[in-house]
């Protein structure tokens, strides 16, 4: 047993279980998978090598592995209503890398995606990412209301003529109009990639429109609102195959051997289990509740005087701009963690702060909803968040890195002893006992 063989790691696992049990999990990109998903993830498929694709492997002994991968592919095709799926990407970033390698020419082709500073993802063309280093990039931003400005995006696309347009975000709380993005991409002859990593589960549940009719390619992680293991899918739509009949083959070759070696078949098995769970009626109800919870939480936060990017939310995610509270996002996130509320600091539109000390917070309701929380609980959680922020010192962080570190280190020591926050942490712990993890 792990307890006797490696007590250090065993104890750390138990500590993590306790942390999850006693705190509110509100990071928008996290969720709690079922026991069945974790059972598949920890199965004997952990140690099976299976380079290649079903029935065309470079290793023997893959008869059962092939069936697992075929089942995952079939379930994904049915769930997202697409003709082709690759289930092998290790995670979301490799999935986006594979698509770009399949479609684009390094140092020549151009990507157009949402700016990282406005809620886009690193792999959508950020200069510090492979996407920004290997390809020419151009970004679009949100308007003053924190919304996608499709007219302006169209003008940029016509001027820049990108080869690939990416729609999707890591911190955008509103519905994405895939049809408008498709019209823009079609006008300039670009491929349209819809990265639905954050909203895949909401799409399956029918509470967010699907890009299947409009995009050429869809990528998604499987561990956020889809509630599976860490992993990813690349899907090619009928529109994509019509644009390029060889697109599916190009994607397969970009994943293997272009980018990856042997797939993680335990991950594939767990993805298959999660996809089956997502096809049931209870998952639709889950997705609906996620959005209801998010809307109520947003409304309650506004009552407490919080400014929300775009004014609210249509999905599982809320982005708070703390500048009117005169509290830095990094300080707020650490204070909230002390109080048992786990979320993350995040940049907001027109944020002038350095990335490690941004002006905002990002939070979500997917994991809370998995634990059975509903609208009434969101009211309580908003009240706690407000109480914590009111306890945060209005620290003006210096511009120089060295001076910031001195103030930051002192704050970390002081906040860990804050009586009001520790009192809230006890209340949160008692509250969480009513909503056990799956």
Q: Which of 77, 230, 383, 429 is catalytic?
A: 230
Q: Determine the 3-state secondary structure of 59 from DSSP.
A: coil
Q: Determine the 3-state secondary structure of 160 from DSSP.
A: helix
Q: Which of 21, 30, 36, 51 is catalytic?
A: 51
Q: Which of 123, 170, 221, 222 is catalytic?
A: 221
For residues 140 and 112, the answer to whether their CB atoms sit within 8 Å is yes
Distance CA 70, CA 272 (A): 9
Q: Would you call 53 a catalytic residue per the annotation?
A: no
Q: Would you call 237 a catalytic residue per the annotation?
A: no
What is the DSSP annotation of 329-368?
Answer: HHHHHHHHHHTTEE-EEE--TT--S-TTS-SEEEEESHHH
Q: Which of 69, 73, 195, 337 is catalytic?
A: 195
Q: Determine the 3-state secondary structure of 317 from DSSP.
A: strand
Place of tokens 């029918």: 206
Tokens of 325: 């509270």
Q: Which of 75, 110, 136, 224 is catalytic?
A: 224
Q: Would you call 404 a catalytic residue per the annotation?
A: no
Distance CA 16, CA 123 (A): 29
Distance CA 24, CA 429 (A): 8
Q: Would you call 58 a catalytic residue per the annotation?
A: no
Q: Would you call 15 a catalytic residue per the annotation?
A: no
Alpha helical stretches, state H, 82-129: 92-103
Nearest to 316 by CA among 295, 337, 344, 302: 295
Nearest to 298 by CA among 344, 364, 342: 364
Q: Which of 49, 90, 150, 357 is catalytic?
A: 49
Q: Would you call 230 a catalytic residue per the annotation?
A: yes
How far lies 246's CA from each of 72, 84, 164, 413, in Å? 22, 11, 17, 58
Q: Determine the 3-state secondary structure of 126 from DSSP.
A: coil
Tell me the catalytic residues.
49, 51, 195, 221, 224, 230
């Amino acid at each position: 047993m792990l307890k006797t063989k490696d007590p250090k790691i065993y104890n750390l696992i138990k500590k993590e279980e306790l942390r999850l049990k006693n705190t509110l999990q509100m990071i928008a990109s996290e969720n709690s998978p079922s026991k069945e998903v974790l059972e598949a993830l920890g199965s004997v498929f952990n140690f099976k090598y299976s380079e290649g694709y079903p029935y065309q492997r470079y290793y023997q002994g893959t008869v059962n592995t092939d069936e697992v991968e075929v089942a995952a592919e079939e379930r994904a095709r049915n769930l997202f209503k697409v003709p082709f799926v690759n289930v092998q990407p290790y995670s979301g970033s490799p999935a986006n890398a594979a698509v770009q390698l399949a479609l684009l020419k390094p140092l020549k082709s151009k990507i157009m995606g949402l700016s990282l500073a406005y809620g886009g993802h690193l792999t959508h063309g950020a200069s510090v990412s492979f996407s920004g280093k290997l390809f020419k990039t151009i970004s679009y931003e949100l308007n003053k209301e924190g919304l996608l400005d499709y007219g302006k995006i169209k003008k940029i696309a016509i001027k820049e003529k990108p080869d690939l347009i990416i729609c999707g975000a890591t911190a955008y709380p509103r519905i994405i109009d895939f049809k408008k993005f498709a019209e823009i991409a079609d006008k300039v002859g670009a491929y349209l990639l819809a990265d639905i990593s954050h909203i895949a589960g909401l799409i399956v549940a029918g509470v967010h429109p699907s890009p299947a009719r409009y995009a050429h390619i869809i990528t998604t992680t499987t561990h956020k609102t889809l509630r599976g293991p860490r992993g990813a899918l690349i899907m090619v739509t009928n529109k994509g195959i019509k644009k390029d009949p060889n697109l599916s083959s190009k994607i397969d070759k970009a994943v293997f051997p272009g980018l990856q070696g042997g797939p993680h078949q335990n991950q594939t098995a767990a993805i298959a289990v999660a996809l089956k769970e997502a096809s049931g009626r209870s998952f639709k109800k889950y997705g609906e509740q996620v959005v209801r919870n998010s809307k109520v939480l947003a409304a309650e936060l506004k009552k407490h005087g919080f400014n929300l990017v775009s004014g609210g939310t249509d999905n599982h995610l809320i982005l708070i701009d703390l500048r009117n509270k005169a509290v830095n996002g990094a300080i707020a996130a650490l204070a909230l963690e002390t109080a048992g509320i786990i979320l993350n600091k995040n940049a907001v539109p027109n944020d002038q702060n350095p990335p490690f000390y941004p002006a905002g917070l990002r939070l979500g309701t997917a994991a809370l909803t998995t634990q059975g929380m509903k609208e009434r609980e969101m009211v309580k959680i908003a009240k706690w968040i407000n109480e914590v922020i009111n306890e945060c010192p209005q620290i003006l962080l210096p511009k120089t890195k060295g001076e910031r570190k001195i103030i930051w280190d002192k704050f970390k020591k002081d906040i860990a002893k804050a009586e009001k926050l520790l009192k809230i942490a006890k209340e949160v712990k008692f509250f969480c006992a009513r909503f056990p993890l799956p």
